[in-house]
Amino acid sequence: MALHLEIEAIQKVYPSESPEGRVEVFHRIDLSVDPGQFVSIVGPSGCGKTTLLRIVAGLEARTSGRILLDGRESEERDRRIGMVFQDYALFPWRTAVRNIEIGLEIQGMPQQKRRSLAMKYVRVFGLEGFADKYPKELSGGMKQRVAIARTLVANPEVVLMDEPFGSLDSQTRNRLQDFLLRIWRERKDTILFVTHNVDEAVYLSDRIAVLSPRPAAVCGIFDVALERPRDRTGPEANRIRKEILELLHRPHTSPVTF
């Protein structure tokens, strides 16, 4: 069952040794993701995308604001929220299947049960024959599939993805985008997906939130009402892409909504 995610008035300030004594990453971020919706965040490097996902996942403290799931504040390290990290963050000393099952192990699921569930994900993710390989023996695309499988096997209802395809070549990236859409269509998770890549955001998302440079704010929201599978270079995709790129390159003064 997918949940509604509401990021409400999130402020984040880091203490710093700069003359001001503080770095304000966000002054105020508000963003709502409907149940089962796929929302992407794009924004310049260093604007705070990873910080925002880590705050939503409960891995990073916020200065103020609230994270709501179906209208109630999320719990600390809420199990209903899963995160796929910017680097794969796999454990090099564990095989693929043992990386996939680690969350279930931490939850205390008995070995046989968690192994059979993890093997199901090995099959769904096209990793047959690689279950017993170590991360260094896997390609980038395979490592990324292991990382996504590891998050999804724990059955979260909100999935946060931090540039999951950022380090892949464009063909592998395109294939994994389609793969992710197939999995999402079946699971109907609520997804908050961070990317640098505007093409990727337009191809995947129902909505796109554009962040301004630090202190970041949501400076534009775009609805992508295109049928899937999408034409990556169709006129409507091109139009949305152009508007987002213009917004990203514009000096930021006040929020704009489309």
User: Residues interacting with ligand ATP, by CB under 6 A?
Assistant: 14, 16, 23, 25, 45-51, 86, 214
Name the residue nearer to Mg ion (CB basis): 153 or 209: 209
Name the residue nearer to Mg ion (CB basis): 147 or 153: 147
Residue 167, interface with Mg ion (CB under 5 A)? no
Q: How far is the CB of 59 from Mg ion (least distance, A)?
A: 13
Total chain residues near Mg ion (CB under 5 A)? 2
d(CA 12, CA 21) in angstroms, rounded, equals 14
Q: What is the amino acid identity at position 101? A: E
d(CA 211, CA 220) in angstroms, rounded, equals 7
Residue 238, interface with Mg ion (CB under 5 A)? no
Query: Looking only at residues 30 through 59 of this chain, which bind Mg ion when binding is defined by CB under 5 A?
Result: 49-50
Residue 23 site contact among ligand ATP, Mg ion, none (CB < 5 to 8 Å, cut-off depends on kind): ligand ATP
Question: Whose CB is nearest to Mg ion?
Answer: 50
Contact 41, 205 (CB under 8 A): no
Residue 45 site contact among Mg ion, ligand ATP, none (CB < 5 to 8 Å, cut-off depends on kind): ligand ATP
133: left (phi over 0), alpha (psi -120 to 50) or beta: beta
Q: What is the amino acid identity at position 44? A: P
- Alpha carbon 234 to its chain's center: 25
Q: Report which DSSP code applies to 137.
A: G
Using CB under 5 A as the criterion, which residues of the chain lie in contact with Mg ion when the complex forms?
Answer: 49-50
